[in-house]
Amino acid sequence: MKSLLKIFKSKIPQLIIIFLLLIVQAYCDLALPSYTANIVDIGIQNADINYIMDMGFLMIIMVSVSVFATIGISYFSSRVSSGYAKDLRKVVYTKVLRFSNHELNQISRSSLITRSTNDINQVQNVLGLMLMVLFFAPILGIGSIIKAFEIGGNLSWIILVTFLVVLILLLIITIDVLPYFKLTQEIIDKMNKTAREILIGIPVIKAFVRQDYEQKKFGKVNKDFLDINLYVFSRIFIMIPTMTLFLNLMIVMILYFGAYDAIAGNILTGDIIAFIQYSTQIVFSFILLGGIMIILPRFLVSARRVAEVLNMELSITDGEITSVDNNPTIEFKNVGYSYPGSEKETLKDINFKLMPGKTTAIIGGTGSGKSTILNLIPRLQDVTEGEILINDVNIKNLNLKTLRDRISFTPQKAILFQGTVKSNMQTGKSDATDEEIRNALNMAQVDFVDDIEEEVSQGGSNFSGGQKQRLSIARAIIGRHDFYLFDDCFSALDMNTEAIVKNNLDKIAKDSSILFVSQRISTIKDADEIIVLDNGRIIDKGTHDDLIDRCDVYSEIALSQMEGSLCHQ
């Protein structure tokens, strides 16, 4: 929670203004019943119209000041709460961008969406209410108690009884609904997760005619959410008429017992009216506080969930070294890797070196660990055994920006961002000129884009899989890097296009290291070194011809893909 309070610091000046306005508002509200009493007991009693007019005028001023104070309080409260939510979203977003796959898996992606939207909204809404009520209710309540006890000594027990009843009622409701707030947020997580899965899987759901099944799956989570909300809100809404009932009973009791006191000459009629007004304000302030007591746990649940994101320890931390010599090498030394929570060693004893001007390729069966090797280089995840060195410096000691600036990484799944072709190309090189963009598009054989300002929909959904691959290759080659890593991203290119793209790549990256991951022999056969991976272990290394001759796994893959004559080219 400390992390949340730290962000709140900048709001303290506005908080002071709210506090001052609340005092003004409470002062005015506390003064009004005394004026009413004076009008009744002095003005009407003495038939003094001027006195009544003076009091009335004072009351108008007090009400006006109170109204302006209330407007000010609402304005500043919403400014503080929405400003705080904006700051919170920014900090959460910045933190999430530093997450590795490990953290992303720990707090699921759908939960992160709920936390940065719904949970922060809860914090904003409740904070806004709290700012208006948390200081105001005690000031008004305590002030009214003092005033009420001053004027209606004998009747004060009625306030005490009503207060106790209201308190017990509030406690019962709060204790009853408390456990459901955490559950509500968890169900929203689940609903996001289910909706996300369904939306991504729409084509498969339709193709397999699974609409009914998926509808039922979503319907169940939706129903759970409805049930919890119905339960919580029915309890909260029971509170309002019940409180009103007790408030009215209190007024009846004050009038009943007050009438006896007035006849006995112990209290004036105006004071009974003022006493009723103060008692109403006391109960009203407790109802306000009670309301906050009920929604506070919801605020705390959401705040804790947001704080969890902010306090999450990053598994990948920055190193201090900010420079790397030119023409660097990357060396894997006895590298091993196991995914968090998995007992299986995904990679074991991986040793190889990427050299400037050389092309290396990794081939292996599905799930053999090819992508995992690539992810280790830009430190999307860290080795669990051994080390990766850039020019003999462990990459963990390098500043992340320094390391990642040296690398061009194209993941297996082509990812494009909403915007234009140009803005997507500038993700690869922020200051890329139109000329450079067109050049990169040509090199990657992007012949389907006429204008670099052409729109790219969210996730690149207005391009085909193969088109997205070409665009992501263009993005990878637009900037100059020491290492080009391609994770099976040539798979949708036909042989001819692939050959042209690779030829272009050789030209622009002649002094760099290129690493291809592929299942296709045609993509890797010209590499200077081919690494054959099987079940997370390197089983052989060499050129295409070497491996064809001596490596059974490699030659089997090659034979299954190529004609015999092509294998020995």
Ligand X SMILES: Nc1ncnc2c1ncn2[C@@H]1O[C@H](COP(=O)(O)OP(=O)(O)OP(=O)(O)O)[C@@H](O)[C@H]1O
Tell me how far, at minimum, the Cβ of 349 lies from ligand X, in Å. 15
Nearer to ligand X, 443 or 515 (CB): 515
Closest by CA to 471, choosing from 359, 401, 461, 199, is: 461
Judge whether 84 and 124 are in contact, CB under 8 Å.
yes
Piece of the chain touching ligand X by CB under 6 A; list 59-67, 324-332, 365-373, 544-552: 365-373
What angle, rounded to 10 degrees, do the helices at 49-97 and 269-311 form?
Answer: 10
Nearer to ligand X, 108 or 125 (CB): 108
Identify residues 203-222 at the interface with ligand X (CB under 6 A).
none
Whole-angstrom Cα distance, residue 543 to residue 520?
15
Q: Is 371 in the site for ligand X (CB under 6 A)?
A: yes
Tell me how far, at minimum, the Cβ of 201 lies from ligand X, in Å. 19
Instruction: List, in sequence order, every beta strand (DSSP E) within 209-366.
Output: 330-337, 347-354, 359-364
Nearer to ligand X, 136 or 409 (CB): 409
x/- mask, ligand X, residues 92-121, rule CB under 6 A, reads ---------x--------------------
Closest by CA to 488, choosing from 467, 515, 508, 511, is: 515
Q: Which helix (H) or strand (E) holds 439?
A: helix 434-443
Piece of the chain touching ligand X by CB under 6 A; list 173-181, 307-315, 323-331, 369-377: 369-377
Identify residues 374-413 at the interface with ligand X (CB under 6 A).
412
Whole-angstrom Cα distance, residue 364 to residue 538?
9
Q: Is 339 in the site for ligand X (CB under 6 A)?
A: yes
Nearer to ligand X, 218 or 339 (CB): 339
Piece of the chain touching ligand X by CB under 6 A; list 147-155, 162-170, 288-296, 366-374: 366-374
Whole-angstrom Cα distance, residue 468 to residue 563?
29
Distance of CA 484 to the CA centre of its chain: 32
Nearer to ligand X, 216 or 344 (CB): 344
Tell me how far, at minimum, the Cβ of 104 lies from ligand X, in Å. 9
Nearer to ligand X, 366 or 569 (CB): 366
Tell me how far, at minimum, the Cβ of 533 lies from ligand X, in Å. 7
Whole-angstrom Cα distance, residue 260 to residue 253?
11
Whole-angstrom Cα distance, residue 214 to residue 205?
8
Tell me how far, at minimum, the Cβ of 342 lies from ligand X, in Å. 5
Identity of the amino acid at 121: N
Nearer to ligand X, 269 or 522 (CB): 522
Residue 460 is given by DSSP the state G
Binding residue for ligand X, selected from 184, 194, 368, 523, defined by CB under 6 A: 368
Identify residues 499-558 at the interface with ligand X (CB under 6 A).
519
Whole-angstrom Cα distance, residue 74 to residue 68?
10
Q: Is 323 in the site for ligand X (CB under 6 A)?
A: no
Q: Which helix (H) or strand (E) holds 410?
A: strand 407-410
Nearer to ligand X, 56 or 465 (CB): 465
Whole-angstrom Cα distance, residue 192 to residue 113?
8
Q: Is 569 in the site for ligand X (CB under 6 A)?
A: no
Q: Which two tokens stand for residue 132?
A: 């208006």
Closest by CA to 483, choosing from 376, 383, 381, is: 376
Binding residue for ligand X, selected from 128, 291, 369, 386, defined by CB under 6 A: 369
Whole-angstrom Cα distance, residue 116 to residue 95?
11
Nearer to ligand X, 173 or 530 (CB): 530
Whole-angstrom Cα distance, residue 382 to residue 376?
6
Which residues, in sequence order, are bridge partners of residue 102? none
Piece of the chain touching ligand X by CB under 6 A; list 74-82, 88-96, 190-198, 364-372: 364-372
Q: Is 343 in the site for ligand X (CB under 6 A)?
A: no
Binding residue for ligand X, selected from 279, 372, 424, 469, defined by CB under 6 A: 372
User: Can you give the binding site for ligand X, defined by CB under 6 A?
Assistant: 101, 339, 342, 346, 364, 366-372, 412, 519
